[in-house]
Structure 1
Amino acid sequence: MRLDAHHIAAIKQLAVEQFGAGARVRLFGSRVDDAARGGDVDLLVELDTPVTEPGLASARFSVRVSRAMYGRKVDVVLAAPNLMRLPIHDVALRDGVLL
């Protein structure tokens, strides 16, 4: 996994601040592969409660994490009871690493 301990802690803290203590964050995509280079940060945020305005929530979290990572591009996918499950969720759950 190509994230250092400082960035992992920051991502987890930001998730708790924005989504609550029950938020779980998984890193997936190219950053999981230690042999890869570059790439954006792909995160799945799993929630047990419904999300209002998921697009806005996802964008806000992405910006906050990007700032904590000195401008690195961050893509965020939300999983919550009121949101449709898409193939990207299956990929993130199957291949992702829980932070």
Structure 2
Amino acid sequence: WQIQAIKTIIHQMDPEARIILFGSRADDAKRGGDIDLLILSQELTPRHKRALRLALYEKLGEQKIDLLIASDTASPLVRIALAEGVSL
């Protein structure tokens, strides 16, 4: 249910956004940890981060959520998240 909630919240702001779960939660062998999300979007910018985080907290409860919002794959961190993450 958490994955569907994440997708719904982000796609309400940008239906075309690509969502990648990376970090410890992307590995089924490693449970727990914070939720690391890469959002690839032409519409959303880092300015949307606060609103997204608030909406996610309201739906998922108090969990540590790290959001990385990017419009391209120029950043090494974005490329690592894409390589190691799971598309939602």
If the TM-score is normalised by the length of the shorter chain, which range does it land in? 0.7 to 0.9
Aligned to 1:23: 17
Distance in 2 separating the partners of 1:91 and 1:59? 23
Task: Work out whether 1:62 is the aligned partner of 2:53.
Answer: yes
**Sequence identity percentage:** 34
Q: Which runs of 5+ in 2 are unaligned?
A: none
Tell me the number of residue pairs that the alignment of Structure 1 and Structure 2 aligns.
Answer: 88
TM-score (norm 2): 0.86
Structure 1 distance, partners of 2:75, 2:54, is: 23
Displaced runs of 4 or more, over 2 A: none
Map Cα deviations across residues 7-50 of structure 1 (whole Å, 9 max, x no partner).
111111111111x2111111000001122232100001111x25
TM-score by length of 1: 0.77
1:17-96 aligned at under 5 Å gives the runs 17-18=12-13, 20-47=14-41, 49-51=42-44, 54-81=45-72, 85-96=74-85
